[in-house]
Amino acid sequence: MGKREADRIEEALLRYTAERVDLDRLRPLIEQSLQRQPDDRANAMLRRGAQFHVRPLGDGLAELVLSYSDAAEFLAVHRAEAFQGEAEDPPAVGSAERDEVLVLTRFPRSALASLPRG
């Protein structure tokens, strides 16, 4: 197999992995990323309605981040109910804090890919 053919196969696999995420692989990544955080910032953001996002980067990499979306108020209330706590208000829409993005980890996109079958 020549280098050009190998490159085409690798590119096809990267496209495949970008389209098919195995959620069972995402849970441990989230847990490990939260455990490695040096402070309570990620947990505080979650209590205030932040949500996880996987952002693709170049070169087959991605990052797991926490950020606020339009659903922050809804998530904050329902997380408080689920954990029998008091709901915390998300940052105000348009504030710098609301636009905050906390990078939890970077990883190869293939780490979340479902494996081809057949």
- Each residue's pLDDT tens digit, 21-77: 777 888 999 999 999 999 999 999 999 999 999 988 888 899 999 999 999 999 999
Q: Which domain holds residue 73?
A: 3-112
Question: Is residue 41 a part of any domain in this protein?
Answer: yes
Please state the domain count of the chain: 1
Residue 117 lies in a domain: no
Average pLDDT value for the chain: 85
Q: What span, in angstroms and rounded, lies between the C-alpha atoms of 113 and 19?
A: 8
Q: Which pLDDT score is estimated for 6?
A: 62
Nearest C-alpha neighbor of 64 from the set 32, 96, 99: 32
Average pLDDT over residues 109-114: 80
Confidence of residue 109 (pLDDT cuts 50, 70, 90): confident
Answer whether residue 20 is part of any domain.
Answer: yes
- Please report whether residue 118 resides in a domain: no
Cβ-based burial of 17 (10 A; exposed 0-12, middle 13-18, buried ≥19)? buried
113 vs 112, residue with greater confidence: 112
